[in-house]
Amino acid sequence: MPGKNSKYITSRSQAGRKRPRLTSPVRRKKPGFFLRLLRHVPRWVWWIGGLAIISVYIAFFYYLFVSPYGFRWRALYGEVNYPEGFDIHGIDVSHYQGDIDWEVLRNQGTIDDCPIRFVMIKATEGATKVDENFEDNFFQAREYGFTRGAYHFYSTRSSAASQAQFFIRNVKLENGDLPPVLDVEHKPNGQTKEEFKQNILEWLQIVEKHYGVKPILYTYYKFKMENLNDSVFDQYPYWIAHYYVDSVEYQGQWKFWQHTDAGSLPGIKGPVDFNIYNGSYYDLRQLTIGSQETIGVDAYRDDEQYEGL
């Protein structure tokens, strides 16, 4: 029987009713397995993953731009700085420089207002690879009057003896050429330092016996100090790679200094390595094969082309 509170009861009963839930007409897609899996990954795993990515990025940056063992870091800003007190300049080239216009290089190429006196040319790598531009570069360098040299890039994947024999088979040095060069930049992980030094010495001795001259040893300053710091290597002319410093920190004797890999020259597309020789042009010619026969007038037969530069 309705009473005076019937209106209140009716309103309350209406207010107490559950409102119907609104649903979207579009069916929600169930998350994929990978997303569902990620939702259950612990927070500490995310932290480790993030730190790993940052570490890889830092290592990559260090390898390209800082490490002396990387693929030769580039100068990012400004012009190339030229070491003071040196007049004998040269370059080293490989297929990375593409097809070189040797005539333009000879007629217009100068480094710090000095003529280019020598060109080191990549010949071989490991026991199977000949640089694709070696034959042309090696021939043209001599044709255009440069003192030329040939270098071998040492590989950690084959024996020193096989690499030495491969270089000998592919490189025919002549009187007036610089001694053969061994470019060493990496040590095999599975070798001790003593084993590594013996292998490098083996290459040098085999090549020296064949050509009759002591090969030139090229490597980075820190790499030499860490892996080849032995008096047995002092008998070989040292070509040091040490970039963007005012002077060489190495305290021993050295013949060549590769001071930048960001040089620019007419006739060469892209960057090229700049080097200096630690001595006079006469000294450089004395270092060449057969210098006792060619050091006379013939040793300076290419001087005329530089007159007036």
DSSP annotation of 230: -
Radius of gyration of the chain (CA): 33
For residue 287, report the phi and psi dihedrals to the nearest 5 degrees: -75, -20
Q: Of 101, 112, 136, 185, which residue is the catalytic one?
A: 185
Residues contacting residue 265 through CB under 8 Å, at least 6 positions apart:
91, 105, 109, 111, 116, 272
Buried b (16+ CB within 10 A) or exposed e, 250-275: eeeebbbbbbbbbbebebbeebbbbb
Let me know if 185 is a catalytic residue.
yes
Of 229, 270, 266, nearest to 250 by C-alpha is 229
Residue type for 195, please?
E
Q: Which of 92, 131, 261, 273 is catalytic?
A: 92
| Two tokens, residue 87 | 């007049």
Cβ partners under 8 Å of residue 76, min gap 6: 65
Helix pair angle (160-170, 193-211), 10° resolution: 30
Distance CA 281, CA 75 (A): 28
Question: Hey, which residues are catalytic here?
Answer: 92, 185
